[in-house]
Each structure stands twice: as C-alpha cells, then as structure tokens.
Homo-oligomer: A and B are copies of this chain.
Amino acid sequence: MREPLFNNVTIIGVGLIGASCALALKDRGLCGTVCGYGRKEANLKQAGELGIINEYSLEIKKACEHADLVILSTPVGLFKKIVHEMRDVLKENTLITDVGSIKGPLVNELEELMPEGVRYIGSHPIAGSDRSGIAHARADLFDGARCIVTPTARSEKSTVRQITTLWESCGGKVEIMDPMLHDQIYAAVSHLPHLIAYALVNTVDDSSAEYLKYAGPGFKDTTRIALSSPELWRDISLLNGKNLLALIERFEHNLNTIASLIRDADASGLEHEFSKARTLREKC
C-alpha cells in the first residue's frame, strides 16, 4: 500500500460524488480514515455499512476537527454556510476542496472565508449523471474523467500540485482553469441544457401528460438530465444566473431563427441551420 496522501479525510455530503471520492481514495490506499458528515443519519449509517466511510458525525465541527482534507460535496448552494460552520475547528494546513459545478465568484468567496493557514482550491470533476445517491457510488467514477481545478491568484503552487495529485490519483485528467471561464463554459455545455430539458418536459405536459407515453429514444435522450436533482440545479441556476440569462436569450434567438424559417417556408435556410448544428455535434 502507498503512503496515504491524507490521514484524515472528511466528506461533507455523502452522495454519489462524495461517496465515490471516498471509495476512490480508499481503493488506492490514498487515505487513512474517512469521516462523513450529512443531514440524514440513515444514509451515513448505510455508507458505513457499505465501507464507504469509517465514521460519521451529524455535527460539522466534529466531522472536521481532525481533517487533513475536506471535500465539500453537498449541493453547491450550501458551501458558504458549511465553511462558516467549520472554519473555527480546522487544523492549520488542512486542504479544502469542493466538487461543485459552480466555480466563478464562489471560489473567491470561499477562499476569503478560510481561516489563516487553511488552504482552499476549487475542483469540478466531470462525473456522475442523472443518478444520485451512494447506491451508485463507484471507486472508478473518476477514471478518465476531466477534473477542472480552479486556482486563483492567491493559490500557492504547492497546493495546486497537491489538488492535482489528488484527482490524478483518483484516475482523473486534471485541467487548470480560470474560475470565471469555467462558469461560462459550463453554463453553455451543461447548465443551459439542464434548464432546456426541464422546460421541454413541462412543455409536453402543457399539451397533455398522456403524450409522454409516445416518447421515443430521442425524447428520452434529450430529457434524461431532467431526472437530475431539482435542489442541486436550483443552486447552480442561481449561482450561475448571469451567464445563464445571457445564454437563454442567445438560445431563444437561435430557436426563433428556426421558427422564422418555418414561418417563411424557407427550406434551404432550415437545412442550413440544421446542417451547421449537425457538423458541430459530430465533433463532440
């Protein structure tokens, strides 16, 4: 077994991603003890029984007081509140990261909340899906997954290296990125598609809920992410609101272009719009 990277690891929010972090670290012998914190004791007990965590606490302070590494993996809207609660008990030199889908200004706000000597850098492993919960957690969830790491001007190089090692050790491919750029990119390729999927399902329901039984594989693919956690996507939508509002406008412009072409019966214009999209999509 390798020398553990971290003796005491605390997972705040033991869901799909948090539990998979714990399993990935344990599986590779990268940590000593894993402590879980969460609101639902039954879930934490089950995580213990499944060998995901070694111990747990329902009190954030207790869960964090011995931690060498804390991973924030609750819905992203809770991060600031959690850091406020834990900051007094953190040991000097503890490393904090998160796995949230929002970076941007939030990273700077979290950084400012950290007590002297505690190091924080944000992460965003692109893993998971519409599934959630520890039942789907896997030690290999991050194998080959892109992991965005978003240091700021205040981050120390040694800390960036440590976070990079953490994710690479779990199988991820690390990419260092400016937090603001992260939020622009993921607004377009992830957050907007979620809003669209939710709105599309609600639109079919406006016609008739009965119509949904005629949904084929195309509809199911297009709306699969509407199965995602409403609580999580509520937070993401609010925290990345500015980018999203601009993109919704842009998207509606593109959809209205198609509507105008239909209204004008402009066959070649429609084919051009669709071909442009298909050519781009083929590159994904």
Contact = CB atoms under 8 A, between A and B. Distances in A.
So how many copies of this chain end up in the complex?
Answer: 2
A238 B130 CA distance: 34
Contact of A189 (B197, B211, B224, B275): B211
B222 A280 contact: no
Contact of A277 (B221, B226, B250, B282): B226
Which has the most chain B C-beta neighbours within 10 Å: A209, A213, A222, A267? A222
A104 to B, nearest CB: 15
A135 interface: no
A225 interface: yes
Nearest to A263: B245
B274 A233 contact: yes
Contacts of A231: 271
Interface string A109-148: 0000000000000000010011000000000000000100
A237 B197 CA distance: 20
8 contacts: A195-B255, A196-B196, A199-B255, A226-B277, A230-B270, A241-B265, A244-B262, A251-B255
Chain A binding site: helix, strand, loop or mixed by DSSP? helix
B241 A273 contact: no
A227 interface: yes
Interface stretch (A12-20, A151-159, A180-188): A180-188
A281 B189 CA distance: 21
Interface residues of A, number: 85
Nearest to A258: B195
Interface in A166-224: 184-186, 188-190, 192-207, 209, 211-224
Interface in A220-269: 220-228, 230-231, 233-235, 237-238, 241, 244-245, 247-248, 250-252, 254-259, 261-263, 265, 267
Given A222-B221, A223-B281, A255 B196 contact: yes
Which has the most chain B C-beta neighbours within 10 Å: A203, A206, A231? A203
